[in-house]
């Protein structure tokens, strides 16, 4: 056997040191779930996927290969999407995924289906396309709508640069300077010790009816011009959000309650993005729910009376002090030593009970992801954005609002056959003087 020299031994030691250093630099990242995210793995399944969709419609047909290449290029830059979910003894946690990006596929099923990680390279999101549209569907444990928009816009930009190399310019394949990669847990950073429960637990009026066939998922979009909407809202003295929530409450009161008194109120859960209130740019979940409530105690309320009730509900809750109280209660419970020491299996049981109480306390959820914009260079290629929510316990019809340029789209997602609430909703808006164009995904309804 050839004897190693001192120089050879020294070289071997250096090489081993380099290997150890490289291995250390490749240690798998892990991360905690934010306060809101703890709930989603507990309650998610085929019947309640906790998946939301944000899509962008372009002016030209989608080419699948460049879209896959765009996803392959963008995903490694987003630590918040390059994750898989793991189950520990006391909590779920995130772990760096590192597998190839999930395959981009042409859409051939209904939206917002449950995401099976073992069929999706362990990722918690999917990207599909259909004709001119790119769909991003996200398991809510990863991020809320703001984080989803962040990712979808960068995916779209990269796709357009691949299809149209002239858009690349001097920027190359870098992310937009305004795109956040921040993974701060803003709940933990901003909470204050609290003991007061802020969420409603009393049962609300629930919309019931014949269900669509298993797996079917209805979508109905109503397109409106924002200047027309603003004129109507000014007449009623409310914001666009308050007006649209009021029209939904009016529609349920008309079509389901038939203008009669009821033991339970119509209560609409409205998610509030907390970032502007707490100077946050996190891409984790950072929102709370407030509720717009209308309790019909007599017959035949006017629309103006309903508008007043909804406006009062929302204005009294959407302020920094109250929003802080809402999430501080949840974070305080999470940080209690007793809660932290309880094994996950028992935490899951408790969270399911708490979730059922809060879910049945709302008739529906209506979320507004705001007015979306894209960089000037991409505007000729982007026609519209859409978004929708999956169903949840007791809530068989939900609303989602988003806008782009001067067009706002209100999207109903539903799994019941009767569409009288949707029809009443759009008819009321049209009667108020707003032109509404409607389309749907073709699910049969009466």
- What percent of the chain is predicted at pLDDT more than 70? 89
Q: Residue 133's pLDDT is what? A: 98
pLDDT band at 24; cut points 50, 70, 90: very low
Q: Residue 72's pLDDT is what? A: 98
Closest CA to 103 of 121, 122, 124: 121
Q: Which of 9-13, 343-347, 368-372 is predicted most confidently?
A: 368-372
Range 61-84 average pLDDT: 97
Between 202 and 229, the higher pLDDT residue? 229
Integer Cα distance of 348 and 88 in angstroms: 12
Contact (Cβ atoms closer than 8 angstroms) between residue 254 and residue 424: yes
**Does the pLDDT at position 2 exceed 50?**
no
Q: Residue 339's pLDDT is what? A: 60
pLDDT band at 445; cut points 50, 70, 90: very low
Write out the two tokens for 425. Answer: 């909703």
- Residue 309 CA: distances (Å) to CA of 132, 183, 238, 334, 360: 41, 38, 11, 34, 21
Contact (Cβ atoms closer than 8 angstroms) between residue 317 and residue 241: no
Q: Residue 56's pLDDT is what? A: 98
Between 14 and 351, the higher pLDDT residue? 351
Q: 147 — phi, psi (to 5°)?
A: -65, -35
- For the stretch 233-255, pLDDT in tens is 999 999 999 999 999 999 999 99
The CB density around residue 97, as the number of other CB atoms within 10 Å, is: 21
Q: Residue 315's pLDDT is what? A: 96
User: Could you tell me which residues come within 8 angstroms of residue 184 by beta carbon, excluding any fewer than 6 positions away?
Assistant: 280, 282, 284
**Does the pLDDT at position 19 exceed 70?**
no
Contact (Cβ atoms closer than 8 angstroms) between residue 59 and residue 164: no
**Does the pLDDT at position 22 exceed 50?**
no
Q: Residue 372's pLDDT is what? A: 97
Q: 369 — phi, psi (to 5°)?
A: -90, 5
- For the stretch 147-156, pLDDT in tens is 999 999 999 9
- Residue 373 CA: distances (Å) to CA of 112, 245, 402, 405: 24, 23, 11, 7
Between 64 and 35, the higher pLDDT residue? 64
Provide the mean pLDDT of the chain. Answer: 90
- For the stretch 380-390, pLDDT in tens is 999 999 999 99
Integer Cα distance of 407 and 247 in angstroms: 18
Q: Residue 380's pLDDT is what? A: 97
Write out the two tokens for 428. Answer: 């009321």
Between 11 and 43, the higher pLDDT residue? 43
Write out the two tokens for 110. Answer: 């209904």
- What percent of the chain is predicted at pLDDT more than 90? 75
Integer Cα distance of 438 and 406 in angstroms: 16
pLDDT band at 443; cut points 50, 70, 90: confident
What is the three-class DSSP state of 167?
helix
- For the stretch 396-427, pLDDT in tens is 999 999 999 999 999 999 999 999 999 999 99
**Does the pLDDT at position 17 exceed 90?**
no
pLDDT band at 27; cut points 50, 70, 90: low
pLDDT band at 9; cut points 50, 70, 90: very low
pTM of the full structure: 0.90
Q: Residue 11's pLDDT is what? A: 47
Q: Residue 144's pLDDT is what? A: 96
Angle at 56 between CA 155 and CA 283, to 5 degrees: 55
- Residue 223 CA: distances (Å) to CA of 228, 401, 412, 436: 11, 10, 12, 5
Q: Residue 15's pLDDT is what? A: 44
- For the stretch 177-213, pLDDT in tens is 889 999 999 999 998 886 566 666 789 999 999 999 9
Q: Which of 33-37, 282-286, 331-335 is predicted most confidently?
A: 282-286
């Amino acid at each position: 056997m050839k004897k190693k020299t001192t120089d050879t031994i020294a070289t071997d030691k250096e090489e081993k040191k380099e290997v150890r250093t490289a291995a250390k630099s490749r240690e798998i990242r892990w991360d905690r779930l934010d306060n809101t995210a703890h709930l989603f793995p507990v309650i998610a399944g085929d019947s309640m996927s906790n998946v939301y969709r944000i899509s962008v419609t372009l002016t030209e047909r989608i080419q699948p290969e460049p879209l896959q290449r765009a996803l392959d290029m963008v995903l490694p830059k987003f630590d918040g999407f390059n994750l898989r979910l793991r189950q520990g003894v006391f909590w779920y946690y995130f772990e760096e995924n590192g597998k190839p990006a999930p395959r981009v596929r042409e859409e051939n099923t209904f939206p917002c289906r449950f995401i099976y990680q073992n069929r999706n390279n362990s990722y918690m999101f999917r990207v599909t396309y259909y004709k001119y549209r790119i769909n991003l569907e996200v398991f809510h444990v990863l991020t809320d709508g703001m984080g989803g928009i962040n990712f979808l816009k960068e995916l779209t930009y990269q796709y357009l640069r691949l299809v149209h190399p002239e858009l690349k310019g001097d920027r190359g394949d870098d992310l937009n300077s305004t795109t956040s990669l921040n993974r701060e847990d803003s709940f933990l950073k901003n909470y204050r010790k609290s003991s007061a429960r802020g969420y409603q637990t009393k049962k609300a009026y629930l919309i019931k009816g014949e269900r669509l066939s298993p797996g079917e998922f209805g979508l109905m979009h109503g397109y409106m011009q924002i200047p027309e909407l603003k004129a109507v809202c000014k007449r009623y003295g409310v914001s666009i959000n308050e007006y649209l929530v009021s029209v939904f409450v009016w529609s349920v009161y008309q079509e389901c309650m038939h203008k009669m008194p009821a033991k339970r109120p119509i209560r609409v859960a409205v998610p509030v993005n907390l970032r502007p209130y707490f100077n946050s740019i996190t891409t984790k979940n950072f929102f709370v729910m407030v509720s717009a409530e209308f309790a019909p105690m007599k017959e035949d309320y006017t629309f103006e009376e309903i508008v007043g009730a909804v406006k009062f509900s929302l204005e009294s809750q959407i302020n920094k002090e109250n929003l802080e109280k809402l999430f501080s209660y949840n974070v305080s419970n999470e940080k209690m030593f007793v809660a932290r020491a309880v094994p996950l299996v028992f935490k899951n049981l408790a969270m399911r009970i708490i979730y059922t109480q809060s879910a049945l306390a709302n008739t529906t959820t209506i979320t507004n992801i705001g007015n979306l914009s894209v960089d000037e260079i991409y505007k000729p290629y982007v026609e519209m954005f859409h978004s929708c929510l999956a169903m949840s316990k007791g809530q068989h019809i939900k609303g989602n609002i988003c806008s782009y340029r001067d067009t706002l789209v209100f999207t109903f997602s539903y799994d019941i056959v009767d569409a009288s609430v949707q029809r009443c909703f759009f008819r009321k808006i049209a009667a108020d003087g707003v032109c509404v164009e409607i389309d749907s995904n073709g699910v049969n309804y009466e």
